[in-house]
Structure 1
Amino acid sequence: MRLPLFFILSLTILLSSCGEYQRVLRKDDMGKKFTMADSLYKIGKYRKGLKLMEQIVPSYRGKPQGEKLMFIYSNTYYNLEDYYLAGYQFERFTQAYPQSDSAEVASFKGAKSFYQLSPRYSLDQKDTYKALEKLQEFINRYPNSGKRMEANTLVAELQEKLETKEYEVAKQYLHVEDYKAAIDAFDNFITDNPGSHYRKDAFYGRYVAAYKLAVNSIPTLVQERLLTAKGHYNTFMKYYKDTELAPEATKIYQDLESRIVTTETEPNS
């Protein structure tokens, strides 16, 4: 069976290019490695190019070609979605070449690498805080950048993730009946997140936690804590009397009020 000529030519070119790549990879010619790595990068052969870059990056530090090499090296990790190394290498690039024409892009992509590493809200948020720090640095350094709007969007998304985590922690305290911790957590949330869409739920959660703390307290503490809960009800209703949570808040309040009256009318022992 005779193979088509086009297939034979394609196979020959492929084998030839693979052979050349292996020869350059094995030899010590830094110039050829650089040229081939750059060519592979331009056509999107990132994994093959990376092997060459890893061999030559140390040799080009401080040299004229080092700036270009370090940028494509960092961007190769980014394109391969290895965001830990991309973030690290972009950070090194901006430190080594702060005046580079590519510094703005490197700063943004470095920050976005940490954004990509930010996990779901229930996990440790170390990378989220790192991403926020780097995104804010980018916004401050390049206030007129074309990427500023996207950076602000990423910041808002990460901040909402942190808000969700903080709110869910407070809710969990309420769920496990650690009412004092719940009240403190909701208090902190309300103070720290004035514009959060969880704010209404946080006011309500604080009120419920205060009510439950009161009714589960020893008799000598009930009166004081019922009055505290009443204050939280009044605050909730001041801002959210027209919301879907208001009827349930009022129902709890009616029981709260009846308990205050009962406590006040009990004879002294």
Structure 2
Amino acid sequence: MFFKMRKYIPLLGLLLIMSSCSEYQKVLKNEDVKAKLELAQKYYDEGDFRRSNRLFEQVAPKYIGKPQGERIMFFFANTYFERGDFNMAGYQFERFVKSYPKSEKVPQASFLGAKSYYKLSPLYSLDQTDTDKALVKLQTFINMYPDSEYYDEANKMAKELTTKKEKKAFEIAKQFNKLGHFDYSFLTPSMAAFDNFISDFPGSIYREEALYLKFESATQYALNSFARWKPERLKNAKTAYNVLKKQYPDTKFAEDANKLLSKIDEELQHPTFNEERETR
């Protein structure tokens, strides 16, 4: 008997799916707003965010200004988030916060809106517009809701995005430094990029390396300068070395840094400058 019944189980499942689809299509096409809302809530509770989203989209405008509107608009925004449509989720959560600023759901909506932009943040090597927007949203949430249950997660995401921004800025500066080995005109933007990085990210994990590479760029810039500019630039490079050693007395770049320093001291003590070596 069991084996006879078992062959009908797939058929029963198919009939249930067809019945569900039929119900969805029927409610979707009719004008009964209450029926749409009930089915939207049913699908939402079941985790079917695709169909609940479509139904909430239809009923949400009908409940603007009504008591149910707040709940519907929050659920509507969250269906986008659960589906992974983070552009729309961020937009809809922002709308919710603006429409219902006194709602008890505002902290959660603010967090989920910020998290939506966090999800849109690309690899560090790409344009970081979405990362900047996410950081602003996360920092606003952190400042406004320090007692929120989402506070720690928001801090963690903000730290991750800040590290990504650091990586982006650091890699740009490093690229100028590398190019400067072949074309001395890149050494000026290299030093400027490292200065900006050190100023913008004082607690960065890349700070020690940035200080060393700034010194390296400054040294190469000085050594390849016209004679009349070389003494001042050598002294500037030596200052960069002193900054590195002061902040990192046991720097892991000590061996390479000391070799460069020896070249600087040698030039300063025996200034045989070649005016035909040009820097830009």
* TM-score using structure 2 length: 0.90
1: distance between equivalents of 2:15 and 2:239? 83
Pick aligned residue for 1:224 from 212, 232, 238: 232
Letter in 2 for 1:202: A
Which residue number corresponds to residue 97 of structure 1? Answer: 100
Q: Is the 8 A contact 1:215 1:226 kept in 2?
A: yes
Q: Is the 8 A contact 2:227 2:273 kept in 1?
A: no
Which residue number corresponds to residue 261 of structure 2? Answer: 253
Cα distance per residue 1:217-248 (max 9 Å; x no partner): 11211111111111111111122231220111
**Correspondences of 1:126-165 after superposition (within 5 Å):** 126-165=129-168
Letter in 1 for 2:134: A
Pick aligned residue for 1:18 from 13, 17, 21: 21
Which residue number corresponds to residue 118 of structure 1? Answer: 121
**Correspondences of 1:43-62 after superposition (within 5 Å):** 43-62=46-65
* 3-state SS of paired residue (2:228): helix
Q: CA 1:23 to 1:208, structure 2 compared with 1: closer, same or farther past 3 Å?
A: same
The one of the two structures with greater contact order (alpha-carbon pairs below 8 A, sep at least 6) is 2
What is the alpha-carbon root mean square deviation over aligned residues? 1.9
Q: CA 1:229 to 1:5, structure 2 compared with 1: closer, same or farther past 3 Å?
A: closer
Residue 27 in 1 paired to residue 35 in 2? no
* TM-score using structure 1 length: 0.93
Q: Is the 8 A contact 2:93 2:110 kept in 1?
A: yes
Matched residues, number: 266
Cα distance, 1:12 vs structure 2: 3.3
Q: Is the 8 A contact 2:245 2:251 kept in 1?
A: no
1: distance between equivalents of 2:273 and 2:11? 101
Q: Is the 8 A contact 1:71 1:106 kept in 2?
A: yes
Identity of aligned residues (%): 44
2: distance between equivalents of 1:193 and 1:155? 14
Which residue number corresponds to residue 186 of structure 1? Answer: 194
* 3-state SS of paired residue (1:242): coil
Which residue number corresponds to residue 277 of structure 2? Answer: none
Cα distance, 1:148 vs structure 2: 0.7
Q: Is the 8 A contact 1:170 1:185 kept in 2?
A: yes
Cα distance, 1:77 vs structure 2: 0.5
Q: Is the 8 A contact 1:240 1:246 kept in 2?
A: no
Q: CA 1:55 to 1:191, structure 2 compared with 1: closer, same or farther past 3 Å?
A: same
Cα distance, 1:13 vs structure 2: 3.1
Ranges in structure 2 where 5+ consecutive residues have no aligned partner: 181-185, 275-280
**Correspondences of 1:167-178 after superposition (within 5 Å):** 167-177=170-180, 178=186
2: distance between equivalents of 1:3 and 1:243? 72
Ranges in structure 1 where 5+ consecutive residues have no aligned partner: none
Pick aligned residue for 1:38 from 41, 63, 76: 41
